[in-house]
Amino acid sequence: MAGRLAGKRIAVTGAAQGIGLAIARACLAEGAALLLIDRDGDLLAETIAGLDAGTGRLVHGVADIADSAAITKVLADGAAQLGGINALINNAGVNVFHKPLETDEAEWYRALDINVKGAWNCCKAVLPAMIEKSDGVILNIASTHSFTIIPHTFPYPVAKHALLGLTRSLALEYAGNGVRVNALAPGYVETQKAIDFWESFPDADAARKETLALHPGKRIATAYEIAMAAVFMISDECPFMNAACLTVDGGLSQLQHPA
């Protein structure tokens, strides 16, 4: 029986771990052919070894998405191997959290280069073929930081707000060319990055419990839950969804927190 993503040839960035790896597993299980991309070649090799690479539906490439020439080549090579790319999941990103006036120029550019410029580099590389064939879907993994502001997380929300603007701009520009562009905004997700964050506190267990207590359901998402939302948005099950941002945060962003 064909999966929900049969016929999809999907490029996934930041695919070696966390949400990206969960998305890769879910898409592969749903019948997609995949180009997995990460800038950490060693970690990506371990990831590939842990997936079913014997199906002929899995290729990979190493590139930093902020490097336009490098990511364009990896996407072109992957498209040649897969017979084209008709879906892109821009998952790669980086947390850059500071107080605004304590943010140096290097950190400012790191946040924007990876979270916004990198996503645009990938879109720019795949859009021409998608437009030519009137067949394409792009999903940008945004964040609840795309529409909320948490003090001392600058300039991350600046970048994620911009990513949402990029999503909507491209969606409206190319809707008439058979291309859909949407965003998925996770809240807290139990990944290694979250664990590292909790372990930066003197009492990691207390920090974790404090994070969970913020949420109406007193838990946070698993990477699998975010991955299955991505499967839906990249599939043909929602063909009229365009320029949309699906929030998956357990309701946290709807709570009214005291100042």
Return the number of other C-beta atoms located less than 10 Å from residue 22's C-beta. 22
CA proximity to 233, closest of 126, 127, 139, 131: 139
- Annotated catalytic residues are 156
To 10 degrees, the CA torsion angle through 232, 237, 238, 239? 130
Cβ 166 vs Cβ 123: under 8 Å:
yes
Alpha-carbon distance of 234 to 116, in angstroms, equals: 20
User: What b/e string do you get for 93-127 counting C-beta neighbours within 10 Å, with b at 16 or more?
Assistant: beebbbeeeebeeeebebbbbbbbbbbbbbbebbb
Helix (H, G, I), strand (E, B) or coil at 198: helix
Q: How many CA atoms lie within 13 A of 252 on its CB side?
A: 24
Alpha-carbon distance of 48 to 33, in angstroms, equals: 13
**Which residue type sits at 181?**
V
254: tokens are 């709807």
Alpha-carbon distance of 115 to 74, in angstroms, equals: 18
Helix (H, G, I), strand (E, B) or coil at 168: helix
